[in-house]
Chains A and B, each alone.
Chain A
Amino acid sequence: MTAILKNIFNISNKKLLKDYGLVLAFMGICLVLSILSPSFIKPANLLNILRQTSINGILAVGMTFVIITGGIDLSVGSITAVAAVVASSFAHPGEHSIVFVIFSGLGVGLLLGFINGLFIAKAKLAPFIATLGMMTIARGMALVYTSGRPVINLSDQYNYIGGGYIGGIPVPVYIYGLVVIISFFVLRFTVFGRRVYAVGGNELSAKYSGIKTSNIKTLVYMISGMLSGLAGIVLSSRVMSGNPSAGTSYELDAIAAVVIGGTSMTGGVGTIFGTVIGALMIGVINNGLDLLNVSSYFQQIVKGSIIIFAVLMDKQANSKD
């Protein structure tokens, strides 16, 4: 297949690897899985993968903004939990309008992200430290808010967000698609998006170029927080309960998706497209290993190895001569 592509586009191996390596690897994994397990390629299973990917995918999109600025957000999993319990607590049948419920989840995520941003951009805390603190605080908040018990008895309207279908496709897939399209557009085509890259590439130079770098940094954590809120809504609605321990260690899968997608941990480089492929790759691997009856213990070893391998390949392809 590589040879065919090479002939069609008349490009060198290296360029091919650099520009399409990730997609090729993804396609390769899909190919192998569909041979090993015929049920992998069935539409129902593919939709299932998409739905399972959507939550991590949404978190990974927010994480992409953060990592391009050279930061990291460890609090996304915990913020997911806070948003899940807050939105769920308003979502009992006949209590509040669904719009209010959704805004409560998004709002609480946005607020916690804003607090992350303040500590990082204004108080100059290292992003790792600030969001590590927030990860613990937000988890505690979710537990305190619910006294440790899941919030149940949610309205059908609310449960539709995570469990419904439109035209045979799960609603979370639409939500994820919308998030991807908007984020792709913002990062690629707007002044804000370009400033995100500028801040991550060289913060000092960005500052001298008249960019209010602290505003950009605050905003990316707000985006990440708000998308965590969205993920919390989708997750709690999907499982029909707001669980305070939901989203535990979700930050790691989100970071993995971003890194597999070719975004540089040192900032300045990365794309939403890459992150989407990265998230799908994780989703496909999880699903495929389940189908192949690989034990969940062993799955972790495979997943970790693939992450390291993907990043190694990317490094190889992007290395300078």
Chain B
Amino acid sequence: MENNSETILEMDNICKSFPGVKALNNVSIKFKKRTVHTLMGENGAGKSTLMKVLSGIYQMDSGTMRLRGEDVIFQTPASALNHGIAMVHQELSPIVDLSVAENMFVGREPVLFKLPVINRKEMNKKANALFEEIGIKIDPKRRMGDLSVAEMQMVEIAKAISYDAEILILDEPTSAISDAEVSVLFKIIRNYTQKNKAVIYISHKMEEIFQISDEITVLRDGEFIGTNPASDVSEKELIKMMVGRNLNEIFPKTETKIGDVSLRVENLSLSGKFSNISFEARRGEILGIAGLMGAGRSELVESIFGVHPPESGSLYINGKEVKIRSPEDAIDLGMALITEDRKLTGLNLKDSVKNNVSIVFLKKLARAFSVVDKGREVSSVEELIKKLSIKTPSRNTNVSSLSGGNQQKVVIAKWLLSDPNILILDEPTRGIDVGAKAEVHKLMNQFTEEGKTVIMISSEMPEIMGMSDRLLVLSEGKLTGHFQRSEFDQEKILACAMNHIEKESN
């Protein structure tokens, strides 16, 4: 099939620079009809920039785009859309107070008798028909804000499909949806390409990429590295292309000496979130917490960290009972929490790399009159920028201009600087590239080698099984499983995550 697929879009020698960065350097790719073409690369490799050029959000500095053999330049997203190019962005922008159907047809609502009055009935009917066709079960009359993130994502995708675009761009569409929804999405994508259309897919998830792709193009540091048919290339080769070096192991877990209990949790409860959670974590140990989205994992660690203190239960650090009523208490007791959503709870996007990294540590940098010791601040921040190889023009650069992976490193740097003994990481590698992921894992290993404790939440099964010494499973706010490393079994863990199967650990 691939051989007789005709080329629909050619991007030729595309260049795009931002102040200080060459984001795209002579990138040339051909996209074919009836094909799912995946773009891969580390964060900052230029995938999103390339797609923003294609969809008219950015203008290229030089290069040509030929759509069906004709030279095109898109000045605005609307003009790209008119030429049959639709994009679903990684970050959604729903209008929460409008209905699902209103969101889908915003700007092109069906009207009554050519009057500026929306034909609501017609609109809902159209939305329903589309949902039915592609197999999504969402009521078009529901308020957008009441939908789960996964449902919003599906609505966005349906909206993009409703334009009947020749080229559909999906930027990490599965980052917020469950496995069941992924399979619905893949069916939608398959059906779409059957209609003689092209899909461009951006993702970091290897398994998915091999499932859905026909062709895979790798970008690195804004340069084109290569295009391969998905059937002709292995995961290892792709990773090598992406990082430009061999990664010996994806999850290089090191054996550490496991010591005394550092954190003990007894019968912790917070109504509506979780109940009767008891566990312990030891020095030198990585304790994994697995579970489905919404199982209460984030709520549990946030509660331990004092963000929403638990209603009942007790906490012990190094055998001594402690009361944690606020994050400040937790920090003073040597805890750190790297949260799931760096933009919401991790970073001050209006401030510099330096000020973000030092904010937790600031208290310890104070001299007389609580004046910050600038010299020490700068040197410790610089040290961490080097240690974590954070790619930033300078420490005074605004964090908002860094790529996702580097922003995540800034969050990690901020917590490493506070020198914690118990490091809690909530989905620390979500949405970051393979290279940065490996670096985060290396840091976790270094941390436990120093005899400190790591607690990690992850929804990626290979990651959590690869990195953890022990594993807890949460389901609907209850502890439903407890596994030693030797007992790890993906199916059993998943079973605990989905059902309330109590597995007694010995």
A264 to B348, CA, bound (A): 14
Beta-carbon nearest neighbor of B302 in chain A = A208
Beta-carbon nearest neighbor of B399 in chain A = A201
1/0 per position for A241-266, CB-CB distance to B under 8 A? Answer: 00000000000000000000000100
Instruction: Determine if A190 is an interface residue (Cβ-Cβ < 8 Å).
Output: yes
Instruction: Determine if A206 is an interface residue (Cβ-Cβ < 8 Å).
Output: yes
Please pick, from B337, B345, B366, B401, the residue contacting A191 in the complex, using a CB distance under 8 A: B366
Please pick, from A200, A202, A208, the residue contacting B307 in the complex, using a CB distance under 8 A: A208
Q: Is the CB of A208 within 8 A of B345?
A: yes
* Interfacial chain B residues near A267, Cβ < 8 Å: 350
> Measured between C-beta atoms, what is the minimum distance from A190 to chain B in Å?
5
* Interfacial chain A residues near B348, Cβ < 8 Å: 197-198, 201-202, 205-206, 268
Interface stretch (choices A169-177, A209-217, A297-305): A209-217
Instruction: Determine if B346 is an interface residue (Cβ-Cβ < 8 Å).
Output: yes
Beta-carbon nearest neighbor of B415 in chain A = A209
A204 to B330, CA, bound (A): 16
* Interfacial chain B residues near A96, Cβ < 8 Å: none
Among A200, A201, A202, A209, which residue has the most Cβ atoms of chain B within 10 A?
A: A209
> Measured between C-beta atoms, what is the minimum distance from B298 to chain A in Å?
12
Q: Is the CB of B350 within 8 A of A208?
A: no
Beta-carbon nearest neighbor of A15 in chain B = B19
Beta-carbon nearest neighbor of B369 in chain A = A190
Please pick, from A191, A202, A209, the residue contacting B370 in the complex, using a CB distance under 8 A: A191
Within 8 A of B (CB), among A68-102: none
* Interfacial chain A residues near B371, Cβ < 8 Å: 189-191
Instruction: Determine if B326 is an interface residue (Cβ-Cβ < 8 Å).
Output: yes
Q: Is the CB of B328 within 8 A of A212?
A: yes
Please pick, from B19, B350, B360, B374, the residue contacting A210 in the complex, using a CB distance under 8 A: B360
Beta-carbon nearest neighbor of B332 in chain A = A210
* Interfacial chain A residues near B134, Cβ < 8 Å: none
Within 8 A of A (CB), among B323-380: 326-328, 330-332, 337, 339, 344-351, 355, 358-360, 362-363, 365-366, 369-372, 374
> Measured between C-beta atoms, what is the minimum distance from B188 to chain A in Å?
34
Number of B residues with CB within 8 Å of any CB on chain A: 35
Please pick, from B351, B362, B366, the residue contacting A201 in the complex, using a CB distance under 8 A: B351
Beta-carbon nearest neighbor of B327 in chain A = A210
A206 to B348, CA, bound (A): 8
Within 8 A of B (CB), among A183-240: 189-192, 194-195, 197-198, 200-202, 204-212
Q: Is the CB of A194 within 8 A of B355?
A: yes
Q: Is the CB of A321 within 8 A of B19?
A: yes
A223 to B369, CA, bound (A): 17
Instruction: Determine if B113 is an interface residue (Cβ-Cβ < 8 Å).
Output: no
* Interfacial chain A residues near B346, Cβ < 8 Å: 205, 208
From known contacts A204-B344, A205-B346, A208-B345, infer whether A191 and B363 are also in contact, taking CB-CB under 8 Å.
Answer: yes
A182 to B123, CA, bound (A): 61
Beta-carbon nearest neighbor of B347 in chain A = A205
> Measured between C-beta atoms, what is the minimum distance from A279 to chain B in Å?
23
Q: Is the CB of B351 within 8 A of A208?
A: no
Q: Is the CB of A204 within 8 A of B359?
A: no
> Measured between C-beta atoms, what is the minimum distance from A11 to chain B in Å?
13
* Interfacial chain A residues near B326, Cβ < 8 Å: 210, 212
Please pick, from B344, B369, B414, the residue contacting A209 in the complex, using a CB distance under 8 A: B414
Instruction: Determine if A307 is an interface residue (Cβ-Cβ < 8 Å).
Output: no
* Interfacial chain B residues near A320, Cβ < 8 Å: 401
> Measured between C-beta atoms, what is the minimum distance from B405 to chain A in Å?
18
Please pick, from A189, A197, A205, the residue contacting B345 in the complex, using a CB distance under 8 A: A205
Instruction: Determine if A269 is an interface residue (Cβ-Cβ < 8 Å).
Output: yes
* Interfacial chain A residues near B365, Cβ < 8 Å: 191
A282 to B307, CA, bound (A): 44
Q: Is the CB of A201 within 8 A of B349?
A: yes
A201 to B346, CA, bound (A): 11
* Interfacial chain B residues near A211, Cβ < 8 Å: 328, 359
From known contacts A198-B351, A268-B350, infer whether A190 and B370 are also in contact, taking CB-CB under 8 Å.
Answer: yes
Q: Is the CB of A210 within 8 A of B328?
A: yes
From known contacts A202-B347, A212-B326, infer whether A207 and B307 are also in contact, taking CB-CB under 8 Å.
Answer: yes
Within 8 A of A (CB), among B380-400: none
* Interfacial chain A residues near B330, Cβ < 8 Å: 210
1/0 per position for B483-500, CB-CB distance to A under 8 A? Answer: 000000000000000000
Q: Is the CB of B349 within 8 A of A192?
A: no
* Interfacial chain B residues near A200, Cβ < 8 Å: 350
Please pick, from B350, B363, B366, B372, the residue contacting A202 in the complex, using a CB distance under 8 A: B350
Q: Is the CB of B327 within 8 A of A202?
A: no
1/0 per position for B415-458, CB-CB distance to A under 8 A? Answer: 00000000000000000000000000000000000000000000
A202 to B400, CA, bound (A): 12
A192 to B370, CA, bound (A): 8
Q: Is the CB of B18 within 8 A of A191?
A: no
Q: Is the CB of B351 within 8 A of A268?
A: yes
A278 to B365, CA, bound (A): 32
Beta-carbon nearest neighbor of A202 in chain B = B348
> Measured between C-beta atoms, what is the minimum distance from A1 to chain B in Å?
25
A136 to B328, CA, bound (A): 37
Beta-carbon nearest neighbor of A204 in chain B = B345
Within 8 A of B (CB), among A267-294: 267-269
From known contacts A197-B351, A202-B350, infer whether A207 and B359 are also in contact, taking CB-CB under 8 Å.
Answer: no
> Measured between C-beta atoms, what is the minimum distance from A27 to chain B in Å?
26
Can you give 21 A-B contacts (C-beta < 8 A)? A191-B363, A191-B366, A195-B359, A198-B359, A201-B348, A201-B349, A201-B350, A201-B351, A202-B347, A204-B344, A205-B344, A205-B345, A205-B348, A206-B348, A207-B307, A208-B327, A209-B327, A209-B360, A210-B326, A210-B332, A210-B360
Residues of A that sit less than 8 Å from B by CB: 189-192, 194-195, 197-198, 200-202, 204-212, 264, 267-269, 320-321
18 new A-B contacts, CB < 8 A, other than A189-B374, A190-B371, are: A189-B372, A190-B372, A191-B365, A191-B366, A191-B370, A197-B350, A197-B355, A201-B349, A202-B344, A202-B347, A204-B344, A205-B344, A207-B307, A208-B307, A210-B328, A269-B350, A321-B18, A321-B19
6 nearest interchain CB pairs?
Answer: A201-B348, A268-B350, A210-B331, A201-B350, A210-B328, A202-B348
